[in-house]
Structure 1
Amino acid sequence: MEQRVVTLFHHSIEATMNAGELLAPLIAEASEMIVHTLLAENKLLICGNGLSGALSQSFSAQLMGGFERERPGLPALALNGDAITIGTVARNHGRAESYARQIRALGQPGDLLVIISTDGSDSNLVQAIRAAHDREMGVLALTGGESDSDCTALLDVHDIELRVPSLVASEVHQVHLLTLFCLCDLIDSSLFGGYEE
């Protein structure tokens, strides 16, 4: 059993390093996209399902509450954080509308939608992207897999996809978590100084 644990750690390190080398330029570009959004006095609307939903809430909390330093809160809202709203929208309009309806109500031109998904195929995330584009919002998609997804097909040239090249959900989640930490660090450094290599 101990050897299995060591093997899992090695697979984790390998997946993380491979994704880091592949995604580093896009993560830097995504941080610039977020900083531009915030400097324009716009906000981030963030969503995901299941464990990706937990990551979206964590990202929102780190932006709003602070990451590694004391600083003002940044305008970010996890759309999946309100179970009553999601349940009401799903009951009245269908699950596929659970985020899109919130985006149409809260989103403004120049805001940024951040979706987090291991495979990019959930209908409510697809509808969220459509609603964001209708509201003239940009999209940052953290996805996984080895081929284009339903969400990928909707992204335009101004959007960014950070796709973890893995079919293993746990690997995708762990790289997404580290990616979000990297984004928080880069955002804080860009907005509040102190960036060091």
Structure 2
Amino acid sequence: MADASIDQDVSIFQHNVSESLLILQSLRKLEPQVERAAKLLADALLSGKKLLACGNGGSAADASHLTTEFVVRYQADRRPYPAISFTTNGGDLTACGNDYGFDEIFARQVRAFGHKGDVLFAFTTSGNSENVLRALLTAKDTGVSTVAFLGRDGGSSSGIADVEFLVEHGVTARIQEAHKLLLHTICELVEVRLHAAANAGHQPLT
């Protein structure tokens, strides 16, 4: 059944494409944040630090997608870099959820794995995921730099991260699509910096 809010003369597909185009165009204003996030992450990795990531549902998939791009590669061949998604270890997640509550599943992992100079990328399309909010706050307390991917009005997570990406839209799917473009662009920019460092003799490519 078609969404009642969609013009019945336009297919759901055409509506979604048009809506997505408008949102992606609005991301142009976030270029300074993209550059800052890429520099923050590249500097951390080149200093021997690591990338951490977390999110729920589709955002959990985005967190794992991001870390894979650095453990393996984004485009070009290069050495692997340390990156951990807090969404993938079922033992850690279920034990922490059982013993300390779902709200603590990411914050506890920040305390376990995060060190000063690391970078946490946190995804929440509502901005109100309590476990993501606690992870951001714990990261700040432990000297871990933070990058937040938010949606809607930013919710309770707004204004906390060192770098913030806010996609001001009410549909989760469209927010996640925009987040994906942002994180892919960051991956590309970071990889350019990693290769430049390797070619300058600071880091081996493989």
TM over 0.5: yes
Q: Distance in 2 between the 1:153 and 1:191 partners?
A: 29
1:45 has 2:52 as partner: yes
Q: Distance in 1 between the 2:13 and 2:46 partners?
A: 44
Between structure 1 and structure 2, the one with the greater Rg is 2
Unaligned 5+ segments in structure 1 are none
Corresponding residue number in structure 2 for 1:16: 24
Q: Distance in 1 between the 2:44 and 2:126 partners?
A: 26
Question: Deviation of residue 183 (structure 1)?
Answer: 0.7
Question: Deviation of residue 3 (structure 1)?
Answer: 3.3
Q: Distance in 2 between the 1:77 and 1:116 partners?
A: 14
Task: Tell me which of 80, 83, 102 is aligned to 2:87.
Answer: 80
Task: Tell me which of 7, 14, 34 is aligned to 1:6.
Answer: 14
Unaligned 5+ segments in structure 2 are 3-9, 197-206
What TM-score comes out, normalization by structure 1 length?
Answer: 0.91
Q: Distance in 2 between the 1:50 and 1:65 partners?
A: 23
1:151 has 2:154 as partner: no
Task: Tell me which of 154, 158, 163 is aligned to 1:160.
Answer: 163
Indicate the percent of aligned positions where both proteins have the same amino acid. Answer: 25
Between the two proteins, the alignment pairs up a number of residues equal to 188
Q: Give deviations 1:146-168, integer Å, cap 9, x for gaps.
A: x342112433xxx0101112121
1:126 has 2:129 as partner: no
Q: Distance in 1 between the 2:86 and 2:72 partners?
A: 16
Query: Which segments of structure 1 move beyond 4 Å, counting only runs of 4 or more?
Result: none
What TM-score comes out, normalization by structure 2 length?
Answer: 0.87
Corresponding residue number in structure 2 for 1:89: 96
Q: Give deviations 1:31-66, integer Å, cap 9, x for gaps.
A: 011111112211111000000000000001111110
1:183 has 2:183 as partner: no
Q: Give deviations 1:54-96, integer Å, cap 9, x for gaps.
A: 0000001111110111111111100111122101001001111
